[in-house]
């Protein structure tokens, strides 16, 4: 059973189908994977951290003992009743993928302890993953792919989390905050918690964009945002200085490339809204542009049309892949990308 729609996923996590013996939760957003796996584990057993009811396995456990998974699935709960076998796959080893797939198939068909629930957490399983293929075909297995949150999903998450703490954001501040949030659900939740502390839990405050100025101004990635704006604004020396400042603050090359990509996407979204009839300032606000940066952003918008942005997109993607290659000089790759973009902006008159 593949669950891809949010309402179906939430219903299953709230009340798992008793006929399901297994679940595979996977995706690029590890934060969402962990969150959903934790929610399901809490429904399967009363105490998800109790070693008498739960077996927690990782790649390393299976690497050293191929029969460990089978033994855990066949074992009975020491306290009687339901047992949870939770496997966290962090690597992409084909051998481990196959081992997990074989165990899942056998367990779904009733080969092991019928009172055991097999929960697998994994990263982005491709279509060639044996585990994914087996899980999707097994009648007694729920498969939950986790995609990166859309802005609407993040906005809902922020509203609910802030509301539970007695604080809130108005529409403009919410759009601004969501636009600045990282895509990883786990990291985003930590940022929301930080915002709650900033606003004051239970204070009843409903903040606007200006109320967030100091909060956003001390973002760890502020230097990267400056570097991206400087690069797209044609300020070569400033972009280089901001990147080096970010490196001194501990920011990595992939994070710098991501900031450049986010700025590109913000320009692209704004241009798309303008082409569909929106005013430039209105479109910039809808794209999450901070009010203090609006004037500079609109200046850039006049030069960076959709065609030019589409031409730069492959360069950003190539730099992102290069940065993630083991042993690569990621910070130099990010700096070269920023300087290339800045030089292009200069040629366009910025």
pLDDT over 60 (residue 219): no
CA 177 to chain centre: 16
Q: How far apart are the first and last CA of the chain?
A: 53
Beta bridge partners of 23: 119, 142
Dump pLDDT digits (tens) for 25-50: 998 777 788 889 999 999 999 888 88
pTM for the model: 0.53
Residue 273: C-alpha distances to residues 168, 175, 233, 304 (Å): 27, 15, 20, 14
| pLDDT value for 221 | 54
Tally Cβ neighbours within 10 Å of residue 196: 18
CATH architecture of the region 6-146:
3-Layer(aba) Sandwich (3.40)
| pLDDT value for 289 | 84
Dump pLDDT digits (tens) for 57-114: 988 888 878 788 999 999 887 777 789 999 998 877 888 899 999 999 999 999 999 8
pLDDT over 70 (residue 144): yes
131 or 155, higher pLDDT: 131
Pick the CATH number of 222-347 from 1.20.272.10, 1.10.1740.10, 1.25.40.10, 3.40.50.620: 1.20.272.10
Summary count for the chain: helices (H), strands (E): 17, 7
Report the mean per-residue pLDDT for the chain: 87
pLDDT over 60 (residue 218): no
Torsional sign, CA 270, 274, 280, 282: negative
Domain boundaries, the chain: 6-146, 166-217, 222-347
Average pLDDT over residues 173-199: 81
311, two tokens: 């031409």
Half-sphere exposure of 268 (CA within 13 A, CB side): 13
Lowest mean pLDDT among 156-165, 212-221, 266-275: 212-221
Q: Which residue has the tokens 């031409």?
A: 311
């Amino acid at each position: 059973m593949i669950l891809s729609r949010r309402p179906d996923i939430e219903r299953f996590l709230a009340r798992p189908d008793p006929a399901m013996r297994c679940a595979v939760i996977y995706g690029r957003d590890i934060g969402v994977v962990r969150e959903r796996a934790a929610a399901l584990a809490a429904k399967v057993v009363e105490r998800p951290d109790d070693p008498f009811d739960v077996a927690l396995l990782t790649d390393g456990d299976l690497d050293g003992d191929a029969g460990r998974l089978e033994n855990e699935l066949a074992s009975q709960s020491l306290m009687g009743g339901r047992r949870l076998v939770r496997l966290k796959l962090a690597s992409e080893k084909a051998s481990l993928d196959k081992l997990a797939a074989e165990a899942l198939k056998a367990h779904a068909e009733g080969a092991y302890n019928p009172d055991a629930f097999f929960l697998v957490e994994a990263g982005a399983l491709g279509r060639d993953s044996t585990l994914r293929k087996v899980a999707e075909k097994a009648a007694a297995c729920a498969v939950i792919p986790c995609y990166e949150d859309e802005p609407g999903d993040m906005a809902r998450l922020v509203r609910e989390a802030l509301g539970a703490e007695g604080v809130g954001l108005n529409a403009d501040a919410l759009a601004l905050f969501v636009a600045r949030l990282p895509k990883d659900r786990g990291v985003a939740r930590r940022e929301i918690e930080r915002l709650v502390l900033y606003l004051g839990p239970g204070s009843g405050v409903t903040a606007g964009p200006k109320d967030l100025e100091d909060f956003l101004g001390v973002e760890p990635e502020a230097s990267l945002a400056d570097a991206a704006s400087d690069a797209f604004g044609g300020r070569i020396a400033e972009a280089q200085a901001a990147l080096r400042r970010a490196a001194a603050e501990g920011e990595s090359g992939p994070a710098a490339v991501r900031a450049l990509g986010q700025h590109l996407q913000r320009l692209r979204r704004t241009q798309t809204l303008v082409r569909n009839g929106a005013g430039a300032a209105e479109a910039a606000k809808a794209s999450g542009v901070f009010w203090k940066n609006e004037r500079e952003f609109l200046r850039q918008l006049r030069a960076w049309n959709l065609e030019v942005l589409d031409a730069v997109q492959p360069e950003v993607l190539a730099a992102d892949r290069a940065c993630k290659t083991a042993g690569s000089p990621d910070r130099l790759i990010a700096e070269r990308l920023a300087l290339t973009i800045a030089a292009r902006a200069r040629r366009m008159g910025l």
